[in-house]
Amino acid sequence: MDKATAVANPNIAFIKYWGKAHEALNLPANPSLSMNLAGLTTVTTVEFRPGLAADSVVIDGEPAQDQARQRVVAHLDRVRALARTDRRALVASRNDFPAGTGLASSASAFAALTLAAGRAAGLVLDEGALSRLARRASGSACRSVVGGFALWEGDGDETSFARQVAPPSFWELRDLVAIVGREHKGVGSQQGHALAASSPLNAARLEAVPGLLALALDAVRARDLSALGPVVEADALAMHGVMMTSWPSLLYWLPATVAVLRAVRAWREEGLDVFFTLDAGPNVHCLCEAARADEAERRLRRLPGVLDVLASGPGGGVRLVDYDLF
């Protein structure tokens, strides 16, 4: 079988990965903890075909351009090297959520590409090996390989991959993503990571991470949102503080981003337990228990500047499906 199709979900980090310890190997400056997001999906089909002169990469119906194409081809090269083949590939990929707006589309994209390409090339990789391979293409992709709640740690190339902390069924947490901007972000996380070290706040954030991570892990294991939420907000703000104070500075927030952050805190004062986090984009991920999700979503939709709300909960790991996109 030279063709395979895989489905993956993006993930939202509770403790963020921002900055690299090793650029080429994609080793992170700090460990991170995330939840996969059910219902938001990337589907990717890969077929290695004899006689093709070059890889063909189609994303959401359009031929991939420049950097996006190069990243896919570079990852196919890693798979080809492992499988000892020089066959070129046909790749088609489809997202059902907006790319490039802080919804971690590279995480689901490279998790799905890793499994589809690996299987199409005849590789048999266990979850750790898949996660490690996905990491090379996009750090956060290593967490999307694993279902549910995932911890990415480990210092070296061999040991740096994500492991499951708890399966999706463990906790009925909800992530309501308030969409306040749909434009592709100006500076993607690939360039952003390289700027982290230029911020005077970076060292302070990295020093705080181990303590916050330990608290976040305990809170996830205890299904305790009131313990998890403040930690998640603290690290999201610390990461955006690093971004804003990098040189050059990265400012992902829109006016409506700030409006959502303030509203979430005001609702908490009123007794509605919701906590926020953000990736490298303007959209705000609002975490709450399933029982509070309808009320929180209603309130989010009423806020000026909120264009849409995507409701999600804990999702599964990357998996093969028996249809294809060709």
Give the separation between CA 318 and CA 314, rounded to whole angstroms: 13
Q: What is the DSSP letter of 96?
A: S
Report whether 102 contacts 67 (CB < 8 A).
Answer: no
Report whether 138 contacts 6 (CB < 8 A).
Answer: no
Nearest to 112 by CA among 9, 3, 189: 9
Which part of the chain contacts ligand PMV (CB under 6 A), choosing from 43-51, 85-93, 138-146, 256-264?
138-146
Give the separation between CA 308 and CA 39, rounded to whole angstroms: 15
Instruction: Answer yes or no whether residue 257 interacts with ligand PMV by CB under 6 A.
Output: no
**The one among 108, 114, 138, 277 contacting ligand PMV by CB under 6 A:** 138
Which stretches within the chain are classed as H helix?
66-83, 105-120, 127-137, 141-144, 189-195, 202-221, 225-244, 255-269, 293-302
Instruction: Answer yes or no whether residue 261 interacts with ligand PMV by CB under 6 A.
Output: no
**Per-residue mark of binding to ligand PMV, 213-252 (x: CB under 6 A):** ----------------------------------------
Count residues near ligand PMV (CB under 6 A): 16
Which part of the chain contacts ligand PMV (CB under 6 A), choosing from 75-83, 89-97, 134-142, 205-213?
134-142
Nearer to ligand PMV, 120 or 209 (CB): 209
Q: What is the 3-state secondary structure (H, E, C) of 229-294?
A: HHHHHHHHHHHHHHHHCCCCCCCCCCHHHHHHHHHHHHHHHCCCCCEEECCCCCCEEEEEEHHHHH
Instruction: Answer yes or no whether residue 274 interacts with ligand PMV by CB under 6 A.
Output: no
Nearer to ligand PMV, 168 or 267 (CB): 168
Site for ligand PMV in 281-300 (CB under 6 A): none
Instruction: Answer yes or no whether residue 105 interacts with ligand PMV by CB under 6 A.
Output: no
Residue 77 CA neighbour count, 13 Å, CB half: 9
**The one among 13, 27, 109, 216 contacting ligand PMV by CB under 6 A:** 13
Instruction: Answer yes or no whether residue 32 interacts with ligand PMV by CB under 6 A.
Output: yes
Contacts to ligand PMV by CB under 6 A: 13, 16-18, 32, 104, 106-107, 138-140, 189-190, 193, 279-280
